[in-house]
Structure 1
Amino acid sequence: MYKIDEFRGRYYFLSNFYNSPVTYEGITYQNNEAAFQAMKVTTDEIRKQFADLPPNLAKRKGRRVQLRNDWEAVKEQYMYEIVLAKFNQNSDLKNRLLATEASELIEGNTWGDVIWGMCRGRGENKLGKILMRVRNELKNDIKEKN
């Protein structure tokens, strides 16, 4: 099986830092990172502050908010729903994701993220697994429509 082991270059579109507007829970964000970081709080007033932020500033702002009480329990579901929204709302990106076919998607990184990605061969690769789940669901949706 072919591996895509980092979301750079031609595979940068898989990254949450890729600028592609996504509307989630009624707010349009400029990228998935902003949408995900906004979910760390429960008020739309604060969430809207993330809408126009580039991904690096959204991540920084997300480190400074008062986390919702249930964050650890809900963050993976939010990531899944936001990733799904990105590819459902952007047909060009959906086609590019589907074009990765059966490749293993690994969010390889050098900054030590061993939860959402993998660093130096270690990590849970939760973002990669979510992307593969979304890809499979999109494939199944296409099969059901045909």
Structure 2
Amino acid sequence: MDVIDEFKGKYYFLSNFYSAPVMYQGITYQNNEAAFQAMKVTDKSIHSEFSDLPPNLAKRKGRRVKLRLDWEEVKETFMYEIVKAKFEQNAHLKNKLLQTGESILIEGNTWGDKIWGVCNGVGENKLGKILMKVRNELKEASDGTE
């Protein structure tokens, strides 16, 4: 079984930092990171403040907001919906994701993210699992039409 264990180089498109427009809850963000960080607050007017931010600034801004009370319960759903939206809305990225076939996707990282990814062999790899789930759903959807 092939393993893609970092979202760099030819696999950078799998990263939430990859620049690809994503429309989520009526707002178009420049990247998934901005959309995800915006969801940390319930105030829609603040969501639009994230829409034009590059991923690094969105992440920084996301660290400064007052987290919504239910964040821990809802963050995985938001991540899933945003990742799915990215690949449904960007056909070339959808094709690239499908081309990863049955590969295991692991967001290997050096910055210590052990929830969404894996660092030094340790982590829950939630982003990788979401990507594989979305890939399977897109594959099933396209099997029915082609």
TM-score by length of 1: 0.99
Structure 1 vs Structure 2: percent identity of aligned residues? 72
Which stretches in structure 1 are left out of the alignment for 5+ residues?
A: none
Shift of residue 114 of structure 1? Answer: 0.2
Which stretches in structure 2 are left out of the alignment for 5+ residues?
A: none
Write the distance in 1 (CA, Å) between the matches of 2:30 and 2:43. 19
In structure 2, the residue matched to 1:5 is 5
Q: Over aligned residues, Cα RMSD in angstroms?
A: 0.5
Write the distance in 2 (CA, Å) between the matches of 1:107 and 1:74. 21
In structure 2, the residue matched to 1:122 is 122
> Are positions 1:78 and 2:65 aligned together?
no
Whichever residue aligns with residue 33 of structure 1, its letter is: E
The DSSP-based 3-state class of the residue aligned with 1:145 is coil
Write the distance in 2 (CA, Å) between the matches of 1:68 and 1:34. 16
The DSSP-based 3-state class of the residue aligned with 1:29 is strand
Write the distance in 1 (CA, Å) between the matches of 2:91 and 2:142. 13
Shift of residue 44 of structure 1? Answer: 1.2
Shift of residue 2 of structure 1? Answer: 0.4
Shift of residue 48 of structure 1? Answer: 0.4
Aligned residues: 146
Give 1:2-81 correspondences, 5 Å limit: 2-81=2-81
Q: Find runs of 4+ consecutive structure 1 residues off by over 4 angstroms.
A: none
Write the distance in 2 (CA, Å) between the matches of 1:32 and 1:24. 9
Shift of residue 145 of structure 1? Answer: 2.0
The DSSP-based 3-state class of the residue aligned with 1:22 is strand
Write the distance in 2 (CA, Å) between the matches of 1:144 and 1:67. 40
